[in-house]
Amino acid sequence: MGLTILAAGTSIPDLITSVIVARKGLGDMAVSSSVGSNIFDITMGLPVPWLIFSAMQGGVPVAVNSNGLFCAIVLLFVMLLFVIVSIAACRWKMSRVLGFTMFMLYFVFLVLSVMLEDRIIICPVSI
């Protein structure tokens, strides 16, 4: 849960720039920025420190331990599908309904992820 709060805090600059761009009428750029920065964080922010750690330890692999990791990944892809469907349902236009839908999808994802991590919900598949 603490990492979720930390992640939200590190996204504040992205949020501010997205709001500024959206107020200028460039909603597509704002959405692209928020999605792109998260993709960059996941594809660079995770592997680079792990690569450096592994190189410093003589090639020892980094063990990633998380309860329900497989289910969290599946949940992430399901939420991505819901995001795409909700954007398409709003005819690819930003609106209050779409914003509320995105907020609710994030909240559901956050709650389910915490429940998986705290073993309130048990993932049937273990990797």
Q: How many residues are there in the chain?
A: 127
Q: How does pLDDT run across 86-113, given as a tens digit for each residue?
A: 999 999 888 899 999 999 998 999 899 8
Compute the distance between CA of residue 125 and CA of residue 58 in angstroms, rounded to an integer: 31
Query: With 0-12 CB in 10 A as exposed, 13-18 as middle and 19+ as buried, what is 69?
Result: middle
**Confidence (pLDDT) at 41:** 81
pLDDT, tens digit, 9 for 90 and up, residues 3-59: 667 777 777 888 898 889 989 998 888 888 888 887 888 888 888 988 999 999 999
Indicate if 79 and 120 belong to the same structural domain.
yes
Q: Which domain holds residue 81?
A: 66-127
- Which structure tokens are listed for 19? 């709001």
Are residues 50 and 72 located together in one domain of the fold? Answer: no
Predicted pLDDT at 3: 65
Number of domains in the chain: 2
The span from the CA of 10 to the CA of 14, in Å, is 8
Which of 64, 91, 111 terminates a domain? The answer is 64
What is the token pair recorded at 64?
């990633």
Q: What is the pLDDT of residues 67-76, one digit of tens each?
A: 788 898 899 8
DSSP 61-86: PPP---TTHHHHHHHHHHHHHHHHHH
pLDDT of residue 101: 95
pTM over 0.75: no
How confident is the model at residue 82, as a pLDDT?
A: 94
Q: What is the pLDDT of residue 116?
A: 87
Asked whether residue 70 falls in the same domain as residue 13, the answer is no
- Count CB atoms within 10 A of the CB of residue 68: 24
* One domain, residues 59 and 18: yes
